[in-house]
């Protein structure tokens, strides 16, 4: 089988910087100071980010951040341009659709409900020990959907997405620009194609 494995936040939905806002509000509420640029951490598991930002208070920070994020998503989450059209087209062409996200299940389902996308498979941070850039979640998706990596595509918006897709052996990788900063030369060296929107991928599937 062939498949397209998507990241969620920043890729299919405009939620990358909703995560950033939630982290900032949670840090402020706990009066925790951090010099780390949160946008450089986006794409990683929530627990991993919390440990970097709050050290020994990471669990406290993570709990508050998750609550704030869910409230923000209900008000602000939107699908990125061409997201639904791309998934519909891919299905017509025989692709299975998986989403592998660093968000937890509750957060991911809230986003998917908001943007009206229902994948064939959802893999969240609750199901893996190692988050991106480790390929564990992508490999799990390949296995569960019986996908051939040499026929499957990865679509993400961060360097950690690209690394996870590459290390899982996907034959084609797209990085869709979002608010998350990337090193273009590094992404290209990893074999990914950088696009400005999902609409560009849709056009390529149509060609």
Report pLDDT digits (tens) over 66-111.
Answer: 999 999 998 999 999 999 999 999 999 999 999 999 999 999 999 9
Cα separation, 155 vs 133, in Å, equals 14
Strand partners, 175: 156, 194
User: How high does pLDDT run on average in the chain?
Assistant: 95
Domain 2-14+78-206 fold is Rossmann fold (3.40.50)
Residue boundaries of the structural domains of the chain:
2-14+78-206, 16-76
Res 123 pLDDT > 80: yes
Helix (H) or strand (E) holding 95: strand 95-100
Q: Could you give the residue ranges of the DSSP H alpha helices within the chain?
A: 16-29, 46-54, 58-76, 83-92, 105-115, 136-144, 159-167, 184-189, 198-206
| Spatial separation of the C-alpha atoms in residues 164 and 188, rounded to whole Å | 15
> What mean pLDDT do residues 118-131 have?
96
* pLDDT on residue 114: 92
In this predicted structure, what is the pLDDT of residue 16? 87
């Amino acid at each position: 089988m062939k498949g397209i494995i998507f990241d969620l936040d920043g890729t299919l939905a405009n939620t990358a910087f909703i995560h950033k806002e939630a982290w900032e509000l949670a840090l402020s509420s706990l009066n925790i100071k951090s010099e780390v640029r949160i946008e450089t951490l986006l794409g990683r598991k929530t627990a991993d980010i919390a440990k970097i930002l709050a050290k020994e208070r990471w669990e406290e920070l993570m709990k508050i951040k998750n609550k704030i994020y869910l409230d923000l998503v209900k008000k602000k989450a939107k699908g990125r341009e061409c997201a639904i059209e791309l998934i519909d087209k891919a299905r017509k062409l025989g692709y299975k659709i998986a989403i592998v996200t660093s968000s937890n299940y509750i957060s991911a389902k809230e986003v998917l409900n908001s943007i009206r996308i229902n994948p064939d498979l959802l893999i969240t941070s609750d199901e893996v020990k190692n988050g991106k850039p480790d390929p564990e979640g992508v490999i799990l998706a390949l296995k569960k959907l019986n996908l051939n990596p040499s026929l499957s595509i990865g679509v993400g918006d961060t360097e950690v997405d690209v690394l996870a897709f590459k290390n899982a052996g996907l034959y084609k990788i797209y990085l869709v620009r979002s608010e998350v900063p990337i090193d273009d030369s590094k992404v290209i060296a990893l074999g990914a194609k950088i696009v400005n929107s999902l609409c560009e991928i849709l056009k390529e599937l149509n060609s």
